[in-house]
Structure 1
Amino acid sequence: MTIISRKKKEKIDRLAELAARDDERGVSLWQEAFRRLRRNPAAIVGAVVLGLFVIVSVVGPFLVPYAPEAQLWKGEIRVGFIPGVRAENWFGLDHIGRDQFSRMVVGARQTLLVGVVATMIGLAVGSLIGGIAGAAAGLGGRWGRAVDNVLMRFIDMLLAMPSLLLAISIAAILGASLTTVMIAVGTVSVPVFARLLRGAMIAQSNSDYVLAATSLGVRKPKIALAHVVPNSLAPVIVQATLTLATAIIEAAALSFLGLGNNDASIPEWGMMLADAQRYIDIAPRLAILPALGIIITALGFTLLGEAMREALDPKLRK
C-alpha cells in the first residue's frame, strides 16, 4: 500500500469515526421549533409568566386565606377611607370590606377560563369554516370555488365590523353573563382562524405531495383531511396563543362595560377594574392591581406567541 493510499484510508477512517460519534437524527418541525424556543429569551419570559398565571389560577383558589365574597371587614370601611396593605390583608380591602388578595387570586381563574374557552370557540368554528373553504378552494374544482366564495363572504362580513363593537353587540343581544362573554369573544376570533387556515391549506394544496397523492388515485377529501390539514395547523396554533392575549383583554373590556358576569360575589379582573373606578381617588390600588394582572398576562401570551411564530416560520427565523 502506498503512502498516499494509506493517508486516504486514515482520513476515511477518521471521517467514519466522526460520523459514528455524531448520532444526531433528523428532527421534526415541532422539535426544531422547541429548540429555538429554548434559546429565545422572550419565549422563556412568556412561558414563565404563563406558568405562574396557570399555577395561581388552578391552585391559588384553594390556598387563599379568605373567601373572596366574605365581607369580613365591612365595619372598617368609611367614607373617603378604605384600609390598604397590612399583615392580614396583603393587597388591602376593597370598597365593601373584602380581601383584595383573595379576590385577585380567584379572579385569575375566571380570567383564564374566559380566555381559554373563548379562544377554543373561535378556534373550533374558525378552523371548521376555514378548513372547508380551504379544501374547497384548493381541491374542489368549480363547485369548490363556489363554496369557498360563499364562506369567505360570510367571513368578510364579520371582519367588516370592529372586533370590540361586534363583541359588544353579541353580548348585548344575549344578555350579561360569563357564558355570553365567552361566546362574544370567541365569535370575534372566528374570522382570524378561518382565513389563516384557508390560506395555509391553499398554499399546501400546490405542494408536491398533494400532486403525488392525486396521481396515485387518492380521493381529494382524504388528501385534505389526512395530509393538507395537518400540515397547515402550525400557524393556526401559533395564532391561538396570540388570540388568548386578545381574548383576555376583550373579555375584561366587556366586563368593564357591565356585559360580563352579573354575580358580584364571583371576582373577575375586568369587573374588579370597573368597580374600582368610583374609588380610584382614595384607593387607586383597587384599579392598578387588576389592570396589572390583565397587562402582564396578555404580555406573557404575546411574547410566547411571537416567539412561536418566529420558531415555526422560516421567513422569521433568526
Structure 2
Amino acid sequence: MSGVATPGRKKAEKIDRLAELSAAHDDERGVSLWQEAFRRLRRNPAAITGAAILMLFVLVAVFGPFLVPYATTDTIGVREGLVKSGQGIIPGSSADHWLGFDHQGRDEFSRLVVGARQTLLVGVVSTLVGLAVGALIGGIAGAAAGIGGRWGRWIDTTLMRIVDMLLALPSLLLAVSIAALLGASLVTVMIAVGMISVPVFARLLRGSMIAQAGSDYVLAATALGVRKSKIALTHIVPNSLAPVIVQATLTLATAIIEAAALSFLGLGNPDSAVPEWGVMLADAQPYLGTRPALAIYPAVAIIITALGFTLLGEAMREALDPKLRK
C-alpha cells in the first residue's frame, strides 16, 4: 500500500509544486496600473519613436534659443544685400545659413529653432487650460451623477447640456470666434485652443467616473458608511484620471496644429518679430511661388511634432486600456 498515493500525499505534492513555482517567480511582484503601462510602453516601438521626437522637440525648445547662430530679429540678409524681397530674390541654404533667409533677410534656421519654444508654450498652456476647466466641469457632473438625488441629477444635466452645446460647434469655428472676440494675441490663442478641448475632457472624466461608481471598492466603502462625496474625491476621481491623461497627450498634438491655424489666419501674436511656426507659415504665403521652402520648413516641424504626440498618446491608450492591450 506504500505505492498508493493517499489524499494527504497528493495535497502535499500539490503544495510543493506551488512552492516551487512561487520560488521560480519570486521576482515577479504585483505592480500598479501605471507600472504595468510603463512596461508596455518600453516594448512599444511607436511609443519609443514618439518619446524620442518629443524629447528632441523639448530640448530644442528649451536650449535652442541659447545656441542659435543669429538673432531672430537681425536682418543680416538685407544688410549684406543678399535678400531683395521686392524683386523676389530670397537666397536658399548656404554654409553660413543652413536654411537660407526669410523675406526680411532674417536667418530661417534661427527663427525655426526659437519658434519651437513659442509653439511648445502655446500647446502646453492651451492643453492645461482645457484640462483644468474640462476636468472641473466633468468632475462636478460625475460626482453629482454619483451622489444622485434631484439636485445631483439637475447639476449633471445642466452641465452636460452646456458641454453638448460646445460640442455641437465645429472646433475651429469656435476657436476663431473666441480669438476674434478677445483680439489677436498669444494669450488669446492659448485660451481659444484650450476652450475647444474643454468638452472632450469634461465628458471623458464624467463617463469614467460613472463607470467607476459601480466598482466593488465603491460598494465596499459605501457599506462601511463612508460619505459619497468623500468616495468621489478620494477614490473615484484618482481612478478615473488615466484616460484623461492619455487624452491630454493626444490633445497636445491637435493644440499645436490649431494654434498654428489661428496664427496663420492672423489671430495669433501680431508681432512677427517673435518667431512662431504658425506665424512663419502666414508670413511665407506671399512667397510660395518664389521661395516655397519658407512654408515647408515650419509645416514639416509642425507635422513631426504632432506625430510625436500622437504616437505617444496612442501607445499610452493601448497600454492603459485593457481592451486595447496587445
Q: Tell me the TM-score normalised to structure 1 length.
A: 0.96
**Alignment match, 2:73:** 69
- C-alpha displacement of 1:140: 3.0
* Structure 2 partner of 1:155: 163
Distance change >3 Å, CA 226–CA 99, structure 1 → 2: same
1:310 and 2:318 correspond? yes
Change (3 A) 1:4 1:230: same
Residues 208 and 9 (structure 1), Cα distance of their counterparts in 2 relative to 1, 3 Å cut: closer
Structure 1 unpaired stretches of 5+: none
Shift of 1:21: 3.6
Alpha-carbon separation, structure 2, partners of 1:45 and 1:33: 16
C-alpha separation in 2, matches of 1:241 and 1:310: 13
In structure 2, C-alpha distance between the alignment counterparts of 1:139 and 1:209, rounded to whole Å = 16
Secondary structure in 2 aligned to 1:76?
A: coil
Kindly, what percent of the aligned residue pairs are identical?
A: 76
2:48 aligns with 44
Asked if 1:230 is matched to 2:243, the reply is no
Matched to 2:99, the amino acid is F
For 2:243, what is the secondary structure of its paired residue?
A: helix
Distance 1:188 1:14, change over 3 A: same
**Larger mean Cα displacement after TM superposition, 69-78 or 264-273:** 69-78
Provide the alpha-carbon RMSD of the alignment.
Answer: 1.7
Aligned to 1:83: 91
1:139 touches 1:205 (CA, 8 Å); kept in 2?
Answer: no
Q: Are residues 1:34 and 2:34 paired? A: no
Partner Cα separation in structure 1 for residue 135 and residue 18 of structure 2: 49
Task: Please report how far the alpha carbon of residue 4 of structure 1 lies from its aligned counterpart in structure 2 after TM superposition.
Answer: 6.3
Equivalent residue of 2:31, what SS? coil
TM-score (norm 2): 0.93
Deviation at 1:14, TM superposition (A): 6.3
> Which ranges of structure 2 fall in alignment gaps of 5 or more residues?
none
- Of the candidates 204, 208, 219, which is equivalent to residue 211 of structure 1? 219
- Offset, 1:72: 1.3
The amino acid across from 1:42 in the alignment is A
- Counterpart check, 1:20 vs 2:30: no
d(CA) in 2 for partners of 1:255, 1:135 = 38
Output the CA distance in 1 between the equivalents of 2:292 and 2:89. 12
What does 1:169-180 correspond to in 2, within 5 Å?
A: 169-180=177-188
* In structure 1, distance between residues paired with 2:189 and 2:112: 19
Q: Deviations over 1:179-210 (max 9, x none)?
A: 00000000000000000000000111111111
User: Which amino acid in 1 is paired with 2:60?
Assistant: V
Secondary structure at 1:50's aligned position in 2? helix
State the match for 1:291 in structure 2: 299
Secondary structure in 2 aligned to 1:315?
Answer: helix
The alpha-carbon distance between structure 1 residues 15 and 204, as it changes in their structure 2 partners (threshold 3 A), is: closer
Alignment of 1:80-229 (within 5 A): 80-229=88-237
